[in-house]
Amino acid sequence: MRKPRHRRPVGLRDAASRRGLLFGSAVATADLVSEAFRAALLRDCSLVSAEYEMKWDAIASLGYGPADALVRFAREHGLAVHGHTLWWHGAVPDRLAGAAPQGFAAAAMDHLAATARRYAGQVASWDVVNEPLDLDHGRDDGLRASPFLDAFGPAYVGTAFEAAAEADPDALLVLNEMGLEYDSPDAERKRRAMLALLERTLAAGAPIHAIGLQSHIDAGHQPRENPGLRAFLREAASMGLRVLITEMDVSDWRCPRAARDAMVADAYRWHLGLVLEACPAVAVTTWGLTDARTWLSEHRPRVDGAPVRPLPLDRRLRRKRAWHAIAEALAAAPEAGAARPRA
Ligand code: G3I
């Protein structure tokens, strides 16, 4: 009798790939020490995103070693890599704090070119610019006050994408943002500002290929339907853009303890259902795979002090309702028409 082939258990990556999508998680090299975590990651994920170690400040302090190790692990296991992130106001090396715009511009361009070139052919997609908007900063264009804006002027997003395309012509280039997902007047204003930014940057010839929706969701506030987000994504699709969900997690900090797993699962189901239907999608990435390690433990602790439960797997890597809700949403997604970044 033929020996049964060793088959990997069916995971979220399989539900995603049946619809032409990638499913991934943010990881750190420290996560990969655990054999149990590696097994869970390889079962569920066809993509990894660096939670910290590919950022400018991380590379400035740690060197490229940790990022190289993440990329090496991904390549050894046939996983796609989503590069996070080349230019972000939240990841500027300390030595450049307060630098003169000219000096900052040279350093920022050197970093972007060197990093995108280093991983060309190994990274499927890049968050080229992260979080360009902050409407509380009072600019008519909604751009966030940042050293990148000071150094390059309001066209800096286009500058970044042109430089990234030159350094890695094959990567899918993503403009990543937070807070576009909510059902609120502020989120609607931010969506309008993002569409205007995309329109003028694309009109200037910049190679923006996709929008990254970070998707840090609050289970206590996530509506089943969100017409503003749906219209935004339809408009983005009409510009020829694709969408990636880049950092999804669902905070349960305000959920009643007994109802929280169901509320978190519903938020995954509704948000993924809406996004995957409204715009050609590439990948869905959660900001961590297991509740054992999530930034929300510190950022959004529960008022009752119980450990938070925002991710697909629990602290012992067991599947939760959220895992099944994601699997269902992926299975129900339209067949993705757009070309996929290579793994
Ligand atoms: O690795 C160093 C360690 O060597 C050092 O001893 C320690 C104390 O300084 O810091 C460690 O680095 C920390 C790193 O996470 C790894 O744990 C940094 O200080 C800390 O700032 C960093 O926080 C990350 C944060 O981005 C800033 O880069 C979070 O893990 C990460 O979840 C968060 O992710 C962001 C996305 O990039 C953008 N969207 C929002 C999202 C949540 O804030």
Predicted local confidence at residue 6, as pLDDT: 60
Predicted local confidence at residue 2, as pLDDT: 67
pLDDT at 7 over 80: no
Q: What is the pLDDT of residues 301-314, one digit of tens each?
A: 999 999 999 999 99
pLDDT at 342 over 50: no
Predicted local confidence at residue 157, as pLDDT: 98
Q: What is the pLDDT of residues 193-215, one digit of tens each?
A: 999 999 999 999 999 999 999 99
Cβ 336 under 6 angstroms from ligand 1: no
Q: What are phi and psi of 216, to 5 degrees?
A: -85, 100
Cβ 52 under 6 angstroms from ligand 1: yes
Q: Tell me the average pLDDT of the chain.
A: 95
Query: Is-above-0.75 flag for pTM?
Result: yes
Query: Which distant-in-sequence residues (6+ apart) come within 8 Å of 219 by Cβ?
Result: 250, 251, 252, 254, 255, 260, 263, 264, 266, 267
CA separation for the pair 112, 135 (Å, rounded)? 26
CA separation for the pair 80, 10 (Å, rounded)? 18
* CA of 258 relative to ligand 1 center, distance in Å: 31
Cβ 295 under 6 angstroms from ligand 1: yes
User: Would you report the helix, strand and coil content of the chain in percent, each value rounded to 5?
Assistant: 45, 15, 35
Predicted local confidence at residue 221, as pLDDT: 87
CA separation for the pair 232, 245 (Å, rounded)? 14
Consecutive H or E run containing 248:
strand 242-251
Q: What's the average model confidence in pLDDT over 319-326?
A: 98
Q: Whose CA is nearest to atom 43 of ligand 1?
A: 295
Which ligand 1 atom is nearest residue 287's CA? 32
pLDDT at 338 over 90: no
Predicted local confidence at residue 220, as pLDDT: 82
Q: Whose CA is nearest to atom 41 of ligand 1?
A: 247
Cβ 218 under 6 angstroms from ligand 1: no
Q: Whose CA is nearest to atom 21 of ligand 1?
A: 52
Q: Whose CA is nearest to atom 17 of ligand 1?
A: 52
* CA of 52 relative to ligand 1 center, distance in Å: 5
Query: Which distant-in-sequence residues (6+ apart) come within 8 Å of 270 by Cβ?
Result: 222, 223, 224, 225
Which ligand 1 atom is nearest residue 178's CA? 39
Sequence length of the chain is: 343
CA separation for the pair 253, 299 (Å, rounded)? 10
Q: What is the pLDDT of residues 107-130, one digit of tens each?
A: 999 999 999 999 999 999 999 999
Q: Candidates 85, 295, 308: which one to mutate for ligand 1, based on the most atoms within 8 Å of Cβ?
A: 295
Q: What's the average model confidence in pLDDT over 158-164?
A: 98
Percent of the chain topping pLDDT 90: 92
Q: What is the pLDDT of residues 19-73, one digit of tens each?
A: 999 999 999 999 999 999 999 999 999 999 999 999 999 999 999 999 999 999 9
